[in-house]
């Protein structure tokens, strides 16, 4: 029997198309595995650093805020209250016709003129009164003539009585006639004085020296006792300010208190004193009137508006700026800084408020350091950095 056998030649090359499972491993496989491991390690490291939480910031204490403080030292403070009111004559004298009146013939003064006591301000037509005065003068002459005749007859009778030509009764009658004649002279003279006084009453005169404020009369006008006020005069030219003050302030005001008065629109101030305080308070405005006496000056015009600064005496108290004093429902308070630079709230009472600041009546003994401003942004117990008033940082 003949067998034909075919034996394939041996080869070391790998044929992928003739893979029967018995081939040798490839040389690339270790390289692929190594590359995969390296890639996995790189990817894991990247994910580790990406997902690692950020480190928490280190907490630091906030810096203490700077606050301006000042010493609440006590000092003498003059308490001043500002009030407003109206200027007026201290004693205004209304002048009118006091006689039977008539037609005005002349007006001799104008508003703003100074007059003396008894000076004629205006004259009234007086022809009737002049005739009556002349008649009274004539009556005096008649009475004096009758008195002279009666005196002569009495003297002759007294010479004849010693000779017995006339009785004592006749002499007595002639003496009575003489006395009656002299009495008639006195009556005539009294009538003259009366008629003269009536004529003089037609002249409108100043009752006292002063400044003429107003005139309400013209020549040709008919005036009488019922006409009303014809002139207004400020006696001695004295003026006053009728200042309106709050009920609490007027209760502390005293007679003789000094005041500086400044008319509206003016630059000058005029010194005066309180000479009268109203005994009543207005029920609606809750204000009272203080009358401040002022010397005459042309700049003080009655009816004008003015401001007065009244001195209420001197008090010893701390004086703080208004920004340092805060208010709440329970009252006024300030913030003080202690030795540890911590803020504390201190209740206070206000004694006075003026342009200079706020005077503290109670609550501070004068040794504290008071926060000048920014107190509304502080809390009790808060630590601050105090800065003296006027310092700059």
> Residue 343 sits in a domain of what CATH number?
2.40.420.20
Same domain, residue pair 218 and 244: no
Residue ranges making up the domain that contains 340? 67-77+316-388
CA gap 273, 260 in Å, rounded: 9
Same domain, residue pair 104 and 232: yes
Same domain, residue pair 223 and 281: no
Can you give the pLDDT at residue 365? Answer: 83
Same domain, residue pair 261 and 320: no
Element (H, E) at 134: helix 127-161
Same domain, residue pair 283 and 350: no
Structural domain ending residue among the three candidates 295, 315, 335? 315
Can you give the pLDDT at residue 289? Answer: 93
CA gap 208, 118 in Å, rounded: 7
Same domain, residue pair 352 and 378: yes
Same domain, residue pair 220 and 324: no
> For the chain, how long is the longest CA-to-CA vector?
251
Can you give the pLDDT at residue 259? Answer: 92
Instruction: Specify the DSSP class assigned to residue 226.
Output: T
**In-domain check, residue 24:** no
Can you give the pLDDT at residue 387? Answer: 85
pTM of this prediction exceeds 0.85: no
Same domain, residue pair 303 and 356: no
**In-domain check, residue 334:** yes
Same domain, residue pair 100 and 227: yes
Helices (H), 202-317: 247-250
**In-domain check, residue 143:** yes
Q: How many CB atoms lie within 10 A of CB 223?
A: 22
Q: In this structure, what CATH number is given to the domain that contains residue 219?
A: 2.40.50.100
Calculated CA dihedral for residues 94, 95, 101, 106, nearest 10 degrees: -130
Element (H, E) at 205: strand 204-205
Same domain, residue pair 245 and 281: yes
Tell me the sheet residues that pair with 132. Answer: none
Structural domain ending residue among the three candidates 282, 315, 348? 315
CA gap 274, 240 in Å, rounded: 9
Can you give the pLDDT at residue 209? Answer: 93
Can you give the pLDDT at residue 34? Answer: 67
**In-domain check, residue 194:** yes
Task: Tell how strand 66-71 and strand 385-388 pair up.
Answer: parallel
**In-domain check, residue 252:** yes
Same domain, residue pair 284 and 377: no
Q: Is 364 exposed, middle or buried (0-12, 13-18, 19+ CB in 10 A)?
A: buried
Q: Is residue 358 within 8 Å of residue 325, measured between CB atoms? A: yes
Q: Note down pLDDT in tens along the chain; length 393 residues.
A: 343 444 344 444 444 444 444 444 555 666 676 667 666 666 665 555 555 555 555 555 567 788 888 888 888 877 788 899 999 999 999 998 887 778 888 999 999 999 999 999 998 887 776 777 777 788 888 888 888 888 888 887 777 776 667 777 777 788 888 888 888 888 888 888 887 777 777 888 999 999 999 999 998 888 887 788 999 999 999 999 999 998 888 888 889 989 999 999 888 999 999 999 999 999 998 999 999 999 988 889 899 999 999 887 777 888 888 888 998 888 899 999 988 888 899 999 887 777 778 888 888 888 888 998 776 788 888 888 888 765 444
**In-domain check, residue 276:** yes
**In-domain check, residue 1:** no
Is residue 244 classed as helix, strand or coil in its secondary structure? strand
Residues in the chain: 393
Can you give the pLDDT at residue 291? Answer: 95
Tell me the sheet residues that pair with 370. Answer: 70, 336
Q: In this structure, what CATH number is given to the domain that contains residue 148?
A: 1.10.287
**In-domain check, residue 209:** yes
Same domain, residue pair 241 and 369: no
The total number of structural domains that make up the chain? 4
Q: In this structure, what CATH number is given to the domain that contains residue 299?
A: 2.40.30.170
Structural domain ending residue among the three candidates 315, 338, 355? 315
Q: How many CB atoms lie within 10 A of CB 253?
A: 20
């Amino acid at each position: 029997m003949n067998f034909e056998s075919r034996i394939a030649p041996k080869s070391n090359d790998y044929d992928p198309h003739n893979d029967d499972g018995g081939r040798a491993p490839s040389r690339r496989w270790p390289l692929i595995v190594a590359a995969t491991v390296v890639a996995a390690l790189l990817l894991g490291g990247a994910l580790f650093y990406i997902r690692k939480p950020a480190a928490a910031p280190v907490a630091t204490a906030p810096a203490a805020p700077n606050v301006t403080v000042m010493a609440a030292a006590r000092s003498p403070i003059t308490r001043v209250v500002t009030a407003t009111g109206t200027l007026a004559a201290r004693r205004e004298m209304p002048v009118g016709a006091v006689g039977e009146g008539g037609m005005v013939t002349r007006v001799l003064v104008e508003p703003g003129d100074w007059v003396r006591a008894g000076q004629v301000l205006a004259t009234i037509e007086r022809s009737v009164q002049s005739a009556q005065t002349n008649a009274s003068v004539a009556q005096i002459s008649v009475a004096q003539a009758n008195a002279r005749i009666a005196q002569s007859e009495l003297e002759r009778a007294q010479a004849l009585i010693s000779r017995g030509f006339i009785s004592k009764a006749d002499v007595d009658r002639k003496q009575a006639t003489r006395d009656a004649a002299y009495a008639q002279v006195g009556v005539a003279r009294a009538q003259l004085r009366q008629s003269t006084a009536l004529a003089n009453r037609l002249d409108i005169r100043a009752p006292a020296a002063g400044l003429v404020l107003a005139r309400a009369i013209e020549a040709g006008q008919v005036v009488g006792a019922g006409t009303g006020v014809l002139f207004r005069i400020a006696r001695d030219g004295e003026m006053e300010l009728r200042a309106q003050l709050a009920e609490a302030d007027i209760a502390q005001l005293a007679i003789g208190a000094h005041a500086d008065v400044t008319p509206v629109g003016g630059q000058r101030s005029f010194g005066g004193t309180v000479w009268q305080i109203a005994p009543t308070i207005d029920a609606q405005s809750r204000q009272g009137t203080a009358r401040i006496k002022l010397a005459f000056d042309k700049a003080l015009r009655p009816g004008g508006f003015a401001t007065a600064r009244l001195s209420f005496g001197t008090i010893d108290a701390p004086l703080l700026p208004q920004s340092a004093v805060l208010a709440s429902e329970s009252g006024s308070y300030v913030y003080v800084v202690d030795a540890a630079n911590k803020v504390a709230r201190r209740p206070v009472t206000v004694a006075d408020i003026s342009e200079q600041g706020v005077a503290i009546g109670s609550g501070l003994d004068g040794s504290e350091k008071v926060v000048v401003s920014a107190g509304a942004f502080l809390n009790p117990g808060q630590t601050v950095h105090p800065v003296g008033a006027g310092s700059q940082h």
